[in-house]
Amino acid sequence: MSLSVEVRELTKVFGDLVAVDHATFSVKRGEIFGLLGPNGAGKSTLFRMLCTVLRPTYGTAKVEGHDILKETNEVRKVIGVVQEKLILYAPLTPIENLTFFGKLYGVEDDVLKRKIEELLQEAKLWEVRDKPVGIFSSGMRQRVNIIRALLHDPKLLMLDEPTNTLDPQSVRWVRDYIKALRDRGLTIILTSHDMYEIDELAEEVAIMDRGKIIAVGGKEELKNKYSTDKFEEVFLALTGRTLRDELSGRLKRRGW
Ligand SMILES: Nc1ncnc2c1ncn2[C@@H]1O[C@H](COP(=O)(O)OP(=O)(O)OP(=O)(O)O)[C@@H](O)[C@H]1O
Ligand SMILES: [Mg+2]
């Protein structure tokens, strides 16, 4: 099977902190690849290096055959990126937002118009196409944000914790949409700290902790290796910590 992404020893150092430590893995074409790890593991840092917004300290990666260091523009053309932060203009309608981003990507006017209608229909937002996105619920805004990343027909869609802080109905839509896109042939990289999300969506998984990829492989292969049918137990076996510990650490950091 051909590879969409090949990551070799990718490393990012911030001062004394090795945020990503010699990450090496591959992503097969047409699969959902889950990057799973607790708060602060280094997922977003690795994600940003792959989408060429952050320069690695060491190592490299190829995305659809293009080197992230030497062929930055080629990489950007073939990826669709959904970062943790929303990138939309609140006073503009979905159509205006999507038209703006589609033009940035150089999509031709007639193709763009057709694509925007098709995607807004899929996201169940056609009825509200003329309302400013500032009045939308967070779930509706995230739907616009996700389809924004698809306007230029990318080969690889990358999503950084796309269901974080969404209501259950919106989480369901995002997960089902990711599966539908994979079924249409898109390759997908998804980061999450939610074992159940990765378990539901991903075929291949990399588990990341404190900057290191501590396990990588097929989801079933990893579960078999640790004699369990639950990712929570794979994570516990690898790190000696439970998700509950991670959650309480996260709440403490937020001063709760
Ligand atoms: N620009 C930066 N400068 C300094 N340190 C950074 C920078 N970006 C991230 N870090 C640090 O690198 C580590 C990894 O952060 P990163 O955001 O990649 O983790 P994450 O797995 O995405 O976490 P989360 O689940 O909270 O999104 C953290 O300790 C973070 O504080
Ligand atoms: Mg992150």
Residue 99, in any domain of the structure = no
Which pLDDT score is estimated for 233?
Answer: 82
Residue 111, in any domain of the structure = no
Residue 71, in any domain of the structure = yes
Grouping H, G, I as helix, E, B as strand and the rest as coil, residue 95 is helix
The reply to whether the predicted model has a pTM over 0.85 is: yes
- 216, two tokens: 């990588």
Question: Which positions ≥6 away from 235 have C-beta within 8 Å?
Answer: 36, 195, 207, 241, 242, 243
Q: How many Å apart are CA 217 and CA 212, to the nearest integer? A: 15
Grouping H, G, I as helix, E, B as strand and the rest as coil, residue 29 is coil
> For ligand 2, a single-atom ion, which residues have Cβ within 5 Å?
43-44
* Letter string b/e over residues 134-170, b meaning 16 or more CB atoms within 10 A of that residue's CB: eebeebbbbbbbbbbbbbbebbbbbbbbbbeebeeeb
Residue 101, in any domain of the structure = no
For residue 41, give the ligand 1 atom closest to its CA.
21
Question: Which positions ≥6 away from 121 have C-beta within 8 Å?
Answer: none
Residue 175, in any domain of the structure = yes
In tens, the pLDDT along 74-130 reads: 999 999 999 988 889 999 999 999 999 999 999 999 999 999 999 999 999 999 999
Where in the sequence is the domain holding 236, given as residue range(s)? 3-85+155-253
C-alpha distances (whole Å) from 246 to each of 15, 132, 167, 170 are: 24, 37, 21, 24
CA dihedral sign of residues 62, 68, 71, 73: positive
Ligand 1 lined by 80 (C-beta under 6 Å):
no
Q: How many Å apart are CA 81 and CA 63, to the nearest integer? A: 13
For residue 39, give the ligand 1 atom closest to its CA.
25
C-alpha distances (whole Å) from 240 to each of 32, 97, 209 are: 27, 45, 11
DSSP 152: T
Q: Looking at the predicted structure, is the pLDDT value of residue 245 above 80?
A: no
Q: What is the CATH number of the domain that holds 184?
A: 3.40.50.300
Pairing of strands 79-82, 204-209: unpaired
Residue 116, in any domain of the structure = no
Ligand 1 lined by 42 (C-beta under 6 Å):
yes
Q: How many Å apart are CA 125 and CA 252, to the nearest integer? A: 38
Residue 96, in any domain of the structure = no
| Ligand 1 mutation pick, 10, 17, 213, 246, max ligand atoms within 8 A of CB | 17
For residue 42, give the ligand 1 atom closest to its CA.
18
If you measure from the C-alpha of residue 102 to the centroid of ligand 1, how many angstroms do you get, rounded to a whole number?
A: 30
Domain count, the chain: 1
Residue 102, in any domain of the structure = no
In tens, the pLDDT along 32-80 reads: 999 999 889 999 999 999 999 999 999 999 999 999 999 999 999 999 9
Which pLDDT score is estimated for 242?
Answer: 56
Ligand 1 lined by 45 (C-beta under 6 Å):
yes
Which pLDDT score is estimated for 234?
Answer: 82
DSSP 15: T
Q: Closest Cα partner for 82 from 121, 43, 51? A: 51
